[in-house]
A and B are shown apart, each in its own frame.
Chain A
Amino acid sequence: MPQSTPFQPRLSGLNQTGVWKLWAGYAVAPAYQHSISTEYYAIRNSAALLDTSPLFKLRFAGPGAETLLRHAMVRDVGAIADGRAQYTCWCDRRGYVLQDGVVLRLSSDDFLLTAAEPTLKYFRDLASDLGIAREVVQDVSLDFGILALQGPLARRILARLTDSANGLRYFGVTHGTIAGHGVILSRTGYTGDLGYELWVPRQGALAVLDALLEAGRGDNLTMMGTTALKMARVEAGLLLMDVDFRSSRHAWVDEQRETPTELGWGWMLRAMERSDRDFVGRGAIEQELATGSSRWTTTGLAVDVHDYERVHDDAGVLAPRHEVYEETTMSVYRRSETPWDYAGYATSFHYSSLLRRPLALAKIPMDLAVKGTEVDLELTVIRRPQNVLARVHAGPFFNPERKTAAADEVQNP
């Protein structure tokens, strides 16, 4: 039997589709209702709630916690204040990415981290190498459920239950009480929208979920399945492990491993030159940056709408636009004299109903990864390969002001 998240007793009754899938051994809903678009638009137009509990949860607490994280992570958790969060990644010694995740800094020596794959032993072994007690790292996966409340009305809904999030800035972390249960709140998410994530103690899970659903009743608060979430994350330009990249840890060959630069996370490395902090993989990353040995980088591709229409019109079919989200490999070609001049490949493809444009996340050579560069993306139109024009797009495709805006400005959207 699959594992159950703490919210499962309530959620199993809310899934109208009868379809479940496995995520890290847990049964989760790809969608709660038959219209994925409805769930998607709840994220963008009101608010949606996701059970993200299958993530592995680690707590780093006690003497050495900060030292360990500063050594383990590519970004410097020492650079953020208590009550702040940081999106980061961690690499192996060869500079290849193991995983990405968000670190919450609760206090000077108390941190929480989410991860897609088990990594308790990895961090404990690293602690041992540093002479730090292994027990500094604890797996608290079963102690908490996590809910992601995302969308423009997220703050308003949350404010009906607690004042704690009122002043919370983007990537801020605080404690609050909901339905009598202490929760940890962070202004983070995986949708690229205004949103919060709530770490709820297991025993309070159902009470907090019920309170949220009740508080959002008049604001179209909708349960979101993983498909709507993934559509939103493509628009936000956020990568998904095992879709857009894989962990170096269980790769077979280096071709399957990627460095932060190759994943388009060069921005995470900018602070490196201001500090000589020794973190795992630093030597290899410095070498990569010095020699320019990055094999590719990962970037967004915005597909030309007219060309997208044209290739389908020419074939006599409607261009697919409704709930198109694919995790398939699509080849990318350089626009040059040489026909079919292979350059790289896309890993995620989504027709954004909101942005009225097909979007892809792709790996292309560094020289092509310049904003606006034109490439060909290979679609399949009536079972045949067909190239369409796409343009390199740096950063998120959708990036509303409300995502990062100071709390006061988003009070009444």
Chain B
Amino acid sequence: MSTEPKSAALRYDAVVIGAGHNGLVHAGYLARAGMRTLLLEQRHLVGGAAITEELLPGFRFTTFSYAISLLRPEIVDDLDLVEHGLMVLPLANTFQPGLNGEYLALGPDADANYHEIARFSAEDAEAARDLDHLIARLCVALKPWMDRIPPNVRSEDPADLEAMAELRAFMEGLDPEVRTLAERFASSSAAEILDATFEHDLVKSLYASSGIIGSMVSPRDRESGLVWLFHKMGEYDGSPGSWGFHKGGNGGFTQVLARACEAFGVEIRTEARVKRVLHEQGAVRGVELEDGQRIEAPVVVSALDPRQTFTRLVDPSDMPADLIEHLEGYKYQGSASKVNFALSDLPTFPGLEDKPDLFRGFTNLGPSIDYLHQAFTEAKEGRFSRRPFIDCCIQSTVDPGMSPPGKHVMSCFVMYTPYQLAEGTWDDQRDALGDTVQETLEEFFPGFSELVLHREVVTPLDIERTVGLSEGNIFAGELFDTQLFLNRPAPGWNQYRTPISGYYQCGSGTHPGGCVSGGPGMLAARQVLKDAQAGA
């Protein structure tokens, strides 16, 4: 209970701006450490891009984000998430339909997967085992760097110099096979790696999808190597690279976080949009809301993306010019949309009508590297792909609470849909995108359209408008080497601090980056608490 007079301005130990999953994780950690923490959210609900909405009675849509893998395991324990309802259901299968009725239906059994891939190529089936294992080894090796505050390359601080030396020693000490793979991911496109590994195009396309998710890159672009690696950095129950659905969708997950936050004493205020961050003489003072209310706090943390954090919440002219210049070059270029369907029944794939577990996982429509590259080429010209890559998930197959019995909700993640259209606006083209996605699904699953009860189209513009992610980039900035780790969001400013003392950043635009990992929120909290201790 506060003993301060009520007439004074509202005062907290910390104010966190944005109740996306990183803002929630961050606020939870601060409150757990005993800080009186206020979490502010502009919308009427928390969750940011990880929300579940009932748009049609009984049908619950994962409007934006729809699966979990990179969630840092220590957060689950630290914030007592199991106690608050955490339940992640495995995405056990991957279905990769090809053209001409071909398909790969993969599951959790490595031997069964070998035989499935060997239908196309025994050598590819063997190579897949080697590649999966090597990637898993690399991810395990990199994990400690995922879960620590990265060193600051611009710093002369002995701790940073030591960390940089440690990083160099780590890279040199890697097993040669693992290091070679790391270098290949950093320097090669997904397609180059896949062409050197596999012979069959459907097998290549199965892997290639990880290299383009949410990123404005062709599988033939160099950047796709790192995007691929990033998507393998997660796990499901210790199974590297595997994904799961949170019960109730990713909105179910952020509700768990909200309950955890409240249990630690975080005060959550919705419909409270921050107008600006208040600061004086290089030190943060608090925030001012759109309605004019001022809230004082010695610590203010932005969970928004770097553009919001450095150029909207504060006046960019108060920031160092080189930082603003760098951030102007920071790429958002949102390229993904969501098209979500309510369905009267499961789709059917010709020849596999009686395989009910086909859709208990990811279904990737993107049957060849050429298909993906063609889809990218169209987007590069400023229009959405006429035959897009689609990652379909039907969570209601394993989570009956998502839809009325026998009916389903299908989340379709669609690439490429450029934020910047060459002609027209997304408001004009929203329905055309929905039609294109539906036509594409109809090609792979004849009769699909007859199943559609409802359709929701979420373009990059909608993501930006609703969630606030600049240009609709789902990761709060592309996952390119120039924008990761030492450089996220900018060299010298990758340790969650900002040029204003007491003002921090904890969104996906900081290390380790996008996806529902909670890593940025957790590591930023570590930094805030460390600084508080040093200052105390």
Contact = CB atoms under 8 A, between A and B. Distances in A.
Interface in B98-146: 109, 111-112, 114-115, 118, 122-123, 125-127, 129-130, 133, 137, 140
B112 A2 contact: yes
Interface string A117-138: 0111110100000000000000
Contacts of A119: 126
Nearest to B133: A250
Contacts of B109: 22, 25
- Chain A interface secondary structure, helix, strand, loop or mixed? mixed
B39 to A, nearest CB: 40
Contact of A25 (B111, B127, B129, B140): B111
A301 to B, nearest CB: 31
B235 to A, nearest CB: 14
Interface residues of A, number: 16
Interface centre among A3, A22, A25 (most CB of B within 10 A): A25
Contacts of A3: 115
A267 interface: no
Contacts of A139: 122
A122 B133 CA distance: 15
| Interface size, B (range) | 10 to 19
A252 B140 contact: yes
Interface string A303-347: 000000000000000000000000000000000000000000000
Contact of A250 (B112, B122, B129): B129
A124 B123 contact: yes
Contact of B112 (A25, A121, A124, A141): A25
Nearest to A25: B111
Contacts, number: 37
A120 B199 CA distance: 14
Given A250-B133, A252-B140, A120 B112 contact: no
A118 B111 CA distance: 10
B206 to A, nearest CB: 17
Contacts of B133: 249-250
Contact of B114 (A2, A118, A249, A250): A118
B127 A121 contact: yes
A124 B127 CA distance: 12
A3 B127 CA distance: 20
A1 to B, nearest CB: 9
A405 B509 CA distance: 74
Contacts of A122: 126
A252 B123 contact: no
Contacts of A366: none
A118 B125 contact: yes
B126 A121 contact: yes
A247 to B, nearest CB: 10
A24 interface: yes
A27 B109 CA distance: 13
B137 A118 contact: no
Contacts of B126: 118-122
Interface string A22-37: 1011000000000000
A122 B127 CA distance: 9
B111 A249 contact: no
Nearest to A119: B126
Nearest to A124: B123
12 contacts: A3-B115, A22-B112, A25-B114, A118-B122, A118-B126, A118-B129, A120-B123, A121-B122, A121-B127, A141-B122, A250-B129, A250-B133
The 7 lowest CB-CB distance pairs between A and B, nearest first, are A25-B111, A118-B126, A121-B123, A121-B126, A250-B133, A25-B115, A139-B122
